[in-house]
Structure 1
Amino acid sequence: MDLEAVRTFVAVADAGRFQDAAAGLSVTQQAVSKRIAALERDLAVRLFTRTPRGARLTIDGQAFLPHARELLRVAERADASVRPGRRALRVDVVNRRIVTAGLLQDFYRTRPGLELDVVTLDADVEGAVAAVEAGTIDATFHAVPPRHHLPEVIRTARVIEERHELLTGPRHPLAGARAVTPGQLAGHRIWMPGLDARGEVADYYEEFAAVFGLTIDVVGPVFGNEALLAEIADSADLATLVGEGSRYLWPDRYDLRRIPVRDPAPLYPMSLIWRADNPHPVLPELRGHLLSARRDRPGADVWLPAWGHRAVGS
């Protein structure tokens, strides 16, 4: 069905005169008449009766009018769903509990009217980059080792260097510490069930464990974060690592402790990833916000994986 003809029909119905509808649509009265005639042929009914006072809807015209309005509303929504600046910005935050989700929420607070679609893809950096390249999402957050080949159209910017905290229960030997060093974690069981055996996260923790002589235990079924927190709260030897900006809630009776890891402070580097030719006008604003929010601490003793010291091009 010709949407311009439908739009013209609604304009005539609202104005009551072909001439007034033509003026409102910035077309000639002859064009209005032709569109209405074509629509009537398509529907095989008369929509208007011409009178000395203008155009009056027939019974069929009255029946068609609410559907015509709905057709135009649907067309407007369809247009807005894909038009840059009008459709929602779709961003993969990887996990809603980690720092990426918090930073995106902070950005949203600066733009409360922004249409934002927050998703979590079950993908490593390769899968996430493929989703950005395909246009499934506008942007994602991942660590991007320099050896990783990126399609020519993909751009990245380092926006996060996430510090670690040790999460323990009240009976753990390190529970009373105000801070711990990576070396102090040696000999303690760092439990991270479900940690991928491959991908950029696995590469990071493999190097981290090798450099500081840690034992990271990935064995065990994954029953979810709530079950993990309950196990750690009840254990005298289990602990895990969480990001400084990650968000977890637990009952007060767990008495869990979040202890900063320092001297050096391990940093997990993450980049924003997007297509260079993505025209969505909010993307540059998001990049600017994330770069301005990045906290550099001059002189701090930090540790990055070997590949983390090399800047990723933006």
Structure 2
Amino acid sequence: MDLQQMRYVVAIAETNNFTRAAERCLVVQSALSHQVARLERELGAKLFERTSRKVRLTPAGEAFLPSARECLEAAERARAYVAAAVGEVRGRLSVGLIPTVAAVDIPRALREFRRRHPQVHIGLRVGASDELVEQVKEGSIEVAFLGLPTNFLLEGVSSRVLARDRLVTVVAPDHPLAGEESVSLDQLASEVFVDLPAGTAGRIQSDQAFEAAGVLREVAFEVTTSDFMARLVAEGLGIAMFPSAYVPQLTGLITVEVTDAPARIEHVIWRSEGCTPASSAFLSLLGLTVPGLRAPGVVGRGGEQADVDRAR
């Protein structure tokens, strides 16, 4: 078997269609089908069930697919490391982040990185912090920027603290709290809240704070994006809590300090096994003091320095 055959198998598995897989791999369908059939003969098992309407993996195909992906990723890493040895940065850079990251200007950093390293394929994924941690562990993204409660234990990844912040309340301009300079969690408990889904890291920090204050609150609107949260607040449907460093990006809302607000920490994380050449170059671009990396300049917002932390 060879890498091209593995690419064909992965493409078919992801598209569930031989024609679309051939288009993705830039080959004619007959050539793709021939190579897959040749691989199946070598393995002694069918990898796909084919009907006139759909294609799906057989049990043998399900067993083969993870190893095929690992081989392709290993080959890609090998090319990247060889390029790095001769002074080039190649490969891929997949970055994950939560929407409320404030310590680093990610769009600006990615623009500068692409200018410096045009041979790198850049990808971006927005999600919840706990989901991004798992994606870094499994290798689907190389670097992620998170916002976590102070008691959240990062495991299985390497990390660095970027900034520490606290949450503030945002309300519509005509809300009764709009004229207050500060409030307590006890005062907020009677309000209707807009927040992230239950169980996510961003939601947990607020839930824990209200629990510690000995009060309950109602979260009537659970949404996954900060911009939609802000829109619901602007319509007067509820109030929300955001990191104080993020709220300047919101318009048309009033910020109210919370005297006993929960705190959060922004982290950057990468795989504990080490950085790829592309992710190493990206972290260096951000001026992060990671062992074995150069830090030519910071492309960030605050410039706060912190010790490197390898999470156990």
Structure 1 partner of 2:172: 169
Q: Which amino acid aligns with 1:203?
A: I
Distance change in 2, residues 1:266/1:197 (3 Å): closer
When the two structures are superposed, what TM-score results if normalisation uses the length of structure 2? 0.52
Structure 2 distance, partners of 1:119, 1:101, is 17
Aligned to 1:39: none
Q: Tell whether the 8 Å contact from 1:146 to 1:312 is kept in structure 2 after alignment.
A: no
Give the number of equivalent residue pairs. Answer: 210
Q: Where do 5+ consecutive residues of structure 2 fail to align?
A: 1-74, 82-88, 290-297
SS of equivalent residue, structure 1 residue 238: coil
Unpaired stretches in structure 1, ≥5 consecutive residues? 1-77, 297-310
Q: What is the aligned-residue RMSD (CA, Å)?
A: 4.0
Q: For 2:98 and 2:194, locate their aligned partners in 1 and report how far apart those are by CA, in whole Å.
A: 17
Q: Encode CA deviations 1:289-314: one digit per residue, 9 max, x unaligned.
A: 48993559xxxxxxxxxxxxxx9646
Alpha-carbon contact 2:159-2:309 (below 8 Å) kept: yes
User: What whole-Å deviation, never above 9, does each CA across 1:32-86 have from its counterpart, x for those lacking one?
Assistant: xxxxxxxxxxxxxxxxxxxxxxxxxxxxxxxxxxxxxxxxxxxxxx979962522
- Residue of 123, 128, 134 corresponding to 1:130: 134
Q: TM-score, normalised by structure 1?
A: 0.52
CA pair 183-295 structure 1, distance change in 2 beyond 3 A: farther
- Distance of 1:146 and 1:226 partners within structure 2: 26
> Does residue 210 of the first structure (1) align with residue 214 of the second (2)?
no
Q: Secondary structure at the match of 1:133?
A: helix
1:41 is aligned to none
State the match for 2:94 in structure 1. Answer: 90
Among candidates 168, 188, 191, match of residue 189 of structure 1: 191
Contact 2:149 2:264 in 1 (8 A): no
The one of 89, 104, 107 equivalent to 2:106 is: 104
Which residue number corresponds to residue 122 of structure 2?
A: 117
Aligned-residue offset at 1:228 = 4.4
Query: Aligned with 2:265: secondary structure?
Result: strand
The alignment partner of 1:175 has SS state of helix
The 5 Å alignment of 1:150-299 reads 150-151=155-156, 154-177=157-180, 179-183=181-185, 185-193=187-195, 195-213=196-214, 215-220=216-221, 222=223, 228-235=229-236, 238-246=238-246, 248=249, 255-259=252-256, 261=257, 263-264=259-260, 266-276=262-272, 277-280=274-277, 281-285=280-284, 286=286, 287-288=288-289, 289=298, 293=302, 295=304
C-alpha spacing 1:207/1:284, structure 2 compared with 1 (3 Å): same
Q: What is the identity percentage for the equivalent residue pairs of Structure 1 and Structure 2?
A: 16
C-alpha deviation, 1:196, in angstroms = 2.7
Query: What are the superposed Cα offsets for residues 212-257 of structure 1, whole Å, 9 maximum, x if unpaired?
Result: 355443234649666644443343x83111222336555xxxx421
Q: Distance in 2 between matches of 1:100 and 1:292?
A: 7
In structure 2, what residue type is equivalent to 1:165?
Answer: V
Q: What's the CA shift for 1:155?
A: 0.8
SS of 1:164 mapped into structure 2: strand
Give the C-alpha shift of residue 269 in structure 1: 1.3
Deviation (angstroms), 1:124: 4.7
Q: Label 1:263 to 1:221 Cα distance change in 2 as closer, same or farther (>3 A).
A: closer
Aligned residue identity for 1:120: R
